[in-house]
């Protein structure tokens, strides 16, 4: 299924690989002019942008740095004139029990997973027109802790899901829709389906498998479209039934 997104513009954070790259690819296929950020994998970012054409650009920006985030917003607006769709995908996944993980370790996750989302939205909101979209890639771990050591990561995802609900209220009068997508286990290079965690993690899902990045991108494209015009403040699971 395709959506009428031709002519729209987007900024996707953390778009060089995994779920982010799938979202960038889906937007490009829908005719969206898309900028995406990356931190260190320049070769992958440049390769993705080159493969998808002139309407896709890569911008180096660390989500943990609010000044770089604001700079990515400025570069996107300079290239495309506005930001119709803002997708917060950049994030870090680290696990460890409170007995082993110190405060600095916790703050590193908060800086990227929470502060980056807030700083990016704050920088972009004046460039998002009426009827725009803000989509945050959160996690099913915002509400479910399947294993020990997930507290810090889950807390950051619960925080951004809460921001989504609050921003939906704040921006509703402007017709800007704000939603969260909450993936479960997805087959990426950071958590591959052929890795050591597949058996215990997939067993928690109803479908007994990992999701594909494209399956998360499909929902993201839907939320960016006019088909989702009465959906805001929602946190939608894409988890194969993990949270049942």
For the annotated catalytic residues, the residue numbers are 153
Q: Which residues contact 86 (CB under 8 A, 6 or more apart)?
A: 10, 11, 120, 121, 124, 128, 132, 133, 134, 135
Is residue 105 within 8 A of residue 149, CB to CB? The reply is no
Burial class (CB in 10 A: 0-12, 13-18, 19+), 4: exposed
Question: With helix as H, strand as E and coil as C, how does 128-146 read?
Answer: CCCCCEEEEECCHHHCCCC
CA 74 to chain centre: 19
């Amino acid at each position: 299924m395709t959506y009428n997104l031709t002519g729209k513009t987007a900024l996707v954070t953390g778009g060089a690989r995994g779920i982010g790259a799938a979202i960038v690819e889906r937007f490009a296929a829908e005719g969206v002019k898309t900028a995406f950020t990356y931190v260190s994998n320049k070769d992958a970012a440049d390769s993705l942008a080159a493969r998808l054409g002139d309407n896709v650009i890569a911008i180096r920006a660390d989500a943990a740095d609010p000044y770089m985030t604001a700079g990515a917003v400025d570069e996107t607006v300079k290239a495309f004139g506005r930001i119709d769709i803002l997708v917060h995908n950049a994030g870090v996944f680290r696990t460890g029990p409170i007995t082993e993980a110190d405060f600095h370790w916790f703050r590193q996750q908060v800086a990227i997973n929470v502060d980056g989302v807030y700083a990016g939205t704050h920088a972009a909101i004046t460039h998002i027109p009426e009827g725009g979209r803000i989509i945050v890639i959160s996690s099913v771990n915002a509400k479910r802790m399947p294993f020990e050591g997930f507290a810090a990561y889950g807390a950051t995802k619960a925080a951004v899901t809460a921001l989504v609900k609050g921003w939906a209220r704040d921006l509703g009068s402007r017709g800007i829709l704000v939603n969260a997508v909450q993936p479960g286990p997805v087959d990426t290079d950071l958590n591959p389906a052929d890795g050591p965690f597949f058996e215990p993690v997939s067993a928690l899902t109803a479908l007994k498998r990992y999701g594909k990045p494209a399956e998360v991108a499909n929902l993201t494209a839907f939320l960016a479209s006019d088909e989702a015009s009465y959906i805001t403040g929602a946190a939608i699971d894409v988890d194969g039934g993990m949270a049942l």
